[in-house]
Structure 1
């Protein structure tokens, strides 16, 4: 039996990057994955890739900033599959600016794509996760834990997500729902662009990772998500897991 056999999983921002890596890792462990993304072209391409392994997996096109429509994502999945086992809130967009240059529009983008969808999808998913004693996986960032310069809008939303994850872990533990957070360092498309633009800084950051490399999307970050979605982690909740090669060692 595979670790996620027949579990129904939603992954926001699942058309590529870390979301795509997790989706691939999960379908290989038997999951049925519904990826949610705004980009139809990449979404359809990932859907095809996933369906080669998990024929029932699917792509849902959605704009996460349309707050009033977020519950439709959950409704679509329940209508199609009849249940929900795992909600992965991965999507997030933001702009890098110094605090004094950050505008309300910048804050709204970060919270509108990251915090608010996480919160409202958690709310909408709750009745169905109660039925399956399911799992929620949210995303943090080392930028938030260390307060990286030019990341104020992103950090504010990420740390807010960590906060509500702990509250949900306390409130929903009685239903058998576990809520955990991954803080990754990964070889994402954004990191690759950054490596081209600032190769010296990229090498400096990479060299400060104790394991000496950025994580592979599917093979390093994916298995952490598989673990948190599986029965193996059912006695863990409210935790932030640092899938970052040792970049930040919590204590």
Structure 2
């Protein structure tokens, strides 16, 4: 019997990359899943793979930046499973690599809407159900905001907004038994693999700056800490930011 047997976990951006890795970790622990994203075919492909672990998966096409679509996604989740135990806000889009002085308002809005507003909408809509289950929220932020990475101004702004909102939620929702935490990952994904092929020398230099000598694995490294934070083992942990970056995210 897995740690998450009979739990219902909603993961935004669960059809690929980090989100799919997280979904896989929870599926292996027996959780039923709601995975959201903007591409139906990708979600349906993920559903087939995840259901091979013997769990039920509901794919929902939804853009987190649109309030009505978030409300509909949460409603579908509750209609299907009757509850929500864990919310994981992973999805984010941004104009990566554009310097602050070159950003347009549209590019800035893209990051804020897909990240900060999406996390807000999902948290607000899931709150009544998380109260019932004394559930968990895991939001994703980034070293881009923690450490001021160049070319990441809108992304960093959205992620630091999510961190601030998460700390407030931890305070406000703690009395209801809900814990809220933040994960800042450094992960090897499809887009990073493409970047490695295009810029092999920069990639090698980046690896040298990671004490553990590698990028994280979406399932084994990031998915597993999410399972921990959603489990009874982490019930007394809330309002914290976890840098899961192989030692490269050292902070005071």
TM-score by length of 1: 0.98
Secondary structure at 2:188 match in 1 = coil
Partner in structure 2 of residue 152 of structure 1: 153
Secondary structure at 1:68 match in 2 = helix
Secondary structure at 2:60 match in 1 = strand
Partner in structure 2 of residue 69 of structure 1: 69
Segments of structure 2 that go 5 or more residues without pairing to the other structure are: none
Contact residue 31 and residue 54 of structure 1 kept, 8 A: no
Structure 1 consecutive aligned stretches of length 4 or more whose deviation exceeds 6 Å: none
Partner in structure 2 of residue 119 of structure 1: 120
Partner in structure 1 of residue 88 of structure 2: 88
Q: Distance in 2 between matches of 1:74 and 1:66?
A: 13
Segments of structure 1 that go 5 or more residues without pairing to the other structure are: none
Listed one character per residue, the Cα deviations across residues 131-165 of structure 1 (whole Å, up to 9, x for unaligned) are 00000000010111010111001000000000000
Secondary structure at 1:204 match in 2 = helix
Q: Distance in 1 between matches of 2:165 and 2:31?
A: 26
Listed one character per residue, the Cα deviations across residues 83-119 of structure 1 (whole Å, up to 9, x for unaligned) are 0000000000001211110011001110111110100
How well do the aligned residues superpose, as a CA RMSD in angstroms? 0.9
Q: Distance in 1 between matches of 2:183 and 2:54?
A: 24
Q: Distance in 2 between matches of 1:72 and 1:113?
A: 16
Partner in structure 1 of residue 250 of structure 2: 249
Contact residue 50 and residue 57 of structure 1 kept, 8 A: yes
Q: Distance in 1 between matches of 2:65 and 2:128?
A: 23
Contact residue 23 and residue 223 of structure 2 kept, 8 A: yes
Please say if 1:10 is aligned against 2:10. yes
